[in-house]
Amino acid sequence: MTKLVELNSKSHQGLKVRPNCHIAMAANQQIMKLRVTETSKAVTSFPVFFTREQRTGAWVLSALTSLENGSNLFVREQQWDSAFLPSSMQTYPLFLMQSEKQENSFTIGVLEQSAAFSKETGEPLFDTQGRATLYLSRIQKLLEADIKNDMQTSHFCQKLEELGLLKSINLVIQFQDDSVQHLNGLHTLDEDKLHALSAEQLAELNKLGYLIPIHAMLISIYQLNTLVKKNNELHSMRVIKQLKIEVMKDRAIA
């Protein structure tokens, strides 16, 4: 991945964001990062799980968009086929990055060679006077909110891990031709352990505002049926006959 460069009006005066570049980016994203604040809306379309961030190993919330690696069933004919649009898509191709000028401060970064940018067409980031456009100002506010939402998500995941509420699962996908595919690396909530919590522990989760996203994630597992349906509508040669969820009882969460 090319290094992020801090956005500035001098170097990026004529930079524009191509139309629908966020959809092109999402087209091959089988898993999309979410913030806990998005969970209640995300579960109306996607099954939502816990996964490990590859670079840091930290827990993250993820929307599963497909049962096939490298695909997204919610991108159809270069259009986004869901009422819910993840924050990561709304802010793309702009990212938060550590400021090189101020310690413990964040700024906006860009991948200068990204195909998402153009000099000819799209949403300009700066006007002719070098001032941020309304488009850039809107994205900046979303990115600033993401700092707080990322912290809330981290605390949410840490608390549930502390209570032992995460369990590893394996999706076993059987196709019409009897071939089988396994999807690993997903974790969900352990409903039995949730019910076994003390009144004090449940009261704490409620006070923290965690019970709503917890129950939303449990219900979201039924959205796996949506993925099967979408897959079978789009891929007549790879029709899914059956989907099973296996709990990885012998595998400790590391």
Confidence of residue 251 (pLDDT cuts 50, 70, 90): very low
pLDDT band (50, 70, 90) for residue 1: low
105 confidence band (pLDDT: 50, 70, 90): confident
Q: What is the pLDDT of residues 173-212, one digit of tens each?
A: 999 999 999 999 999 999 999 999 999 999 999 999 999 9
Residue predicted with more confidence, 55 or 51: 51
Asked if residue 253 belongs to a domain, the reply is: no
pLDDT for position 250: 46
Q: How confident is the model at residue 146 (pLDDT cuts 50, 70, 90)?
A: very high
Contact by Cβ (8 Å): 232, 239: yes
Q: Is residue 254 domain-resident? A: no
Q: Do the domain assignments include residue 13? A: yes
Q: Mean pLDDT across the chain, nearest whole number?
A: 94
**pLDDT computed for residue 198 by the predictor:** 98
> Do the domain assignments include residue 252?
no
- Residue 221 structural domain: 5-247
Count of structural domains, the chain: 1
Asked, for residue 59, whether it belongs to a domain, the answer is yes
Residue 32 placed within a domain: yes
The answer to whether position 50 is within a domain reads yes
Mean pLDDT, residues 6-24 taken together: 95
- Residue 189 and residue 96: Cα distance in Å, rounded? 29
Across 127-152, average pLDDT: 96
Residue 236 has pLDDT above 90, yes or no: no
End-to-end Cα, the chain, rounded Å:
27
pLDDT digits (tens, 9 = 90+) for 82-104: 999 999 999 999 999 988 777 77
- The fraction of the chain above a pLDDT of 70, given in percent, is 97
Task: Enumerate the H helices of the chain as residue ranges.
Answer: 21-26, 39-42, 87-91, 134-162, 191-195, 199-207, 211-220, 224-234
58 lies in some domain:
yes
